[in-house]
């Protein structure tokens, strides 16, 4: 197992675009930070896929500036005594804002409406008349009074659930692993589903906020689609692999899924009418990138300076 040495300069390897404010945490003579060092004491990473990387003998910890750790070979790290951190909650507000934006935009057919309006660019002074004639196809619905199902009530899911209540939605949540701490962050008005099937059957909108594991991979599939309300809107800002995209294409064609908003573009559904594919922008705000980088850098610093493991 790698060991902690307090008196030497510690080297930190950074893998892809960690914000400058995060790196400032290391700005003193005790640290050397760069993206090419061979045998670092710690690594701070964003989305770089580390599964085929060999780890040097000095490596004590890897901090992921983000929530998901599926780009890190966690089992291999555990075997080698390397601590893996993530930054829980640091990007939660950014993701929440995009989920709620997408929910309102999809309900008002905004994505299609905007794309259609651009097709009128060459119509000159006919544009107002064409707009009035064409807008009927985009009549939407309000989210007020509709039921939102939130799968996963961690930092992001709890924020989405609470804010959806403020938008006058009925909110039903499901999380088999919810901790007492998280429960305190959750409004009492969030109804708890006893089973995930109950949530699937009762929701007009479903948003998913769980990590990718063997249990959650493909959790949206033909069986689960078959119990959903026809026309349900599904929001996936967690990981693409949670959804069986071939089954999703069928569910969209059959009208079971009314709209699918995903932060993980996939070839099976990308071109479909009721699909909005976003280029993984859930956590892409300046604030969130700073929060994640600072939290990750502090975790690594604490590990290297004291040996303490603090995943917050
Ligand atoms: C996360 O895991 O935190 C999000 O998917 C955002 C990201 O990967 O940057």
Q: Give the CATH superfamily of 10-88+286-306.
A: NAD(P)-binding Rossmann-like Domain (3.40.50.720)
Of these residues, 197, 202, 280, 290, which one is catalytic? 280
Predicted TM-score (pTM) of this structure:
0.93
Q: Ligand 1 pocket check: which of 97, 157, 283, 289 to mutate, most ligand atoms within 8 Å of Cβ?
A: 283
- Cα(33) to centroid of ligand 1, in Å? 23
21, pLDDT greater than 60: yes
What is the CATH T-level fold of the domain 92-277, as seen in this structure? Rossmann fold (3.40.50)
List the structure tokens of 249: 């294409």
Higher pLDDT, 127 or 181: 127
- Cα(66) to centroid of ligand 1, in Å? 5
Position 90 scores a pLDDT of 97
Closest CA to 207 of 182, 180, 242, 181: 242
Position 80 scores a pLDDT of 97
51 belongs to the catalytic site = no
- Cα(97) to centroid of ligand 1, in Å? 14
| Positive or negative: CA dihedral 187, 199, 202, 146 | positive
267 belongs to the catalytic site = yes
Q: Is 154 in the pocket of ligand 1 (CB under 6 A)?
A: no
Q: Is 91 in the pocket of ligand 1 (CB under 6 A)?
A: yes
* pLDDT tens digits for range 177-214: 887 777 778 888 999 999 999 999 999 999 999 999 99
CA distance 258 to 276: 11
- Cα(20) to centroid of ligand 1, in Å? 18
List the structure tokens of 72: 């890190």
CA distance 147 to 207: 11
Does the fold of domain 92-277 match that of domain 10-88+286-306?
A: yes
Of these residues, 239, 245, 289, 298, which one is catalytic? 239
pLDDT band for position 4 (cuts 50, 70, 90): low
Kindly list the distances between the CA atom of residue 84 and the CA atoms of 63, 69, 193, 308, in Å, as whole numbers in the listed order. 6, 8, 32, 13
DSSP string, 148-196: EEEE--SHHHHHHHHHHHHTT-EEEEE-TT--HHHHHHS-TTSEEPSSH
Domain ranges for the chain, please list them: 10-88+286-306, 92-277
Complex-level ipTM: 0.92
User: Which residues have C-beta within 8 Å of that of residue 285, sequence separation ≥ 6?
Assistant: 91, 94, 97
Position 11 scores a pLDDT of 92
Return left, alpha or beta for 66; rule: phi > 0 is left, psi -120 to 50 is alpha, else beta: left
């Amino acid at each position: 197992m790698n060991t902690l040495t307090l008196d030497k300069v510690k080297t930190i390897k950074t893998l892809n675009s960690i914000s400058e404010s995060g790196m400032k945490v290391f700005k003193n003579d005790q640290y050397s930070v760069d993206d090419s060092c061979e045998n670092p004491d710690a690594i701070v990473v964003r989305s770089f896929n580390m599964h085929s990387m060999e780890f040097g003998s000095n490596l004590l910890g890897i901090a992921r500036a983000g929530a998901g750790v599926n780009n890190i070979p966690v089992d291999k790290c555990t075997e080698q005594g390397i601590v893996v951190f993530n930054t829980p909650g640091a990007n939660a507000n950014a993701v929440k804002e995009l989920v709620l934006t997408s929910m309102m935009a999809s309900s008002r057919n905004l994505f299609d409406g905007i794309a259609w309006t651009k097709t009128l660019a060459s119509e000159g002074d006919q544009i107002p008349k064409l707009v009035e004639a064409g807008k009927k196809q985009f009549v939407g619905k309000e989210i007020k009074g509709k039921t939102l199902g939130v799968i996963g009530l961690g930092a992001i899911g709890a924020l989405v659930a609470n804010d959806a209540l403020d938008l006058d939605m009925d909110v039903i949540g499901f999380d088999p692993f919810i901790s007492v701490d998280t429960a305190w962050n959750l409004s009492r008005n969030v109804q708890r589903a006893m089973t995930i099937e109950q949530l699937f059957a009762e929701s007009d909108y479903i948003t998913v906020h769980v990590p990718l594991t063997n249990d959650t991979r493909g959790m949206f599939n033909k069986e689960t689609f078959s119990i959903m309300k026809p026309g349900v809107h599904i929001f996936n800002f967690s990981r693409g692999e949670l959804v069986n995209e071939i089954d999703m294409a069928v569910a969209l064609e059959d009208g079971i899924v009314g709209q699918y908003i995903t932060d993980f573009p996939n070839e099976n559904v990308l071109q479909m009418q009721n699909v909005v594919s976003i280029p993984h922008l859930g956590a892409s705000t300046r604030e969130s990138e700073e929060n994640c980088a600072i939290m990750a850098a502090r975790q690594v610093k604490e590990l290297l300076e004291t040996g303490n493991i603090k995943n917050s």
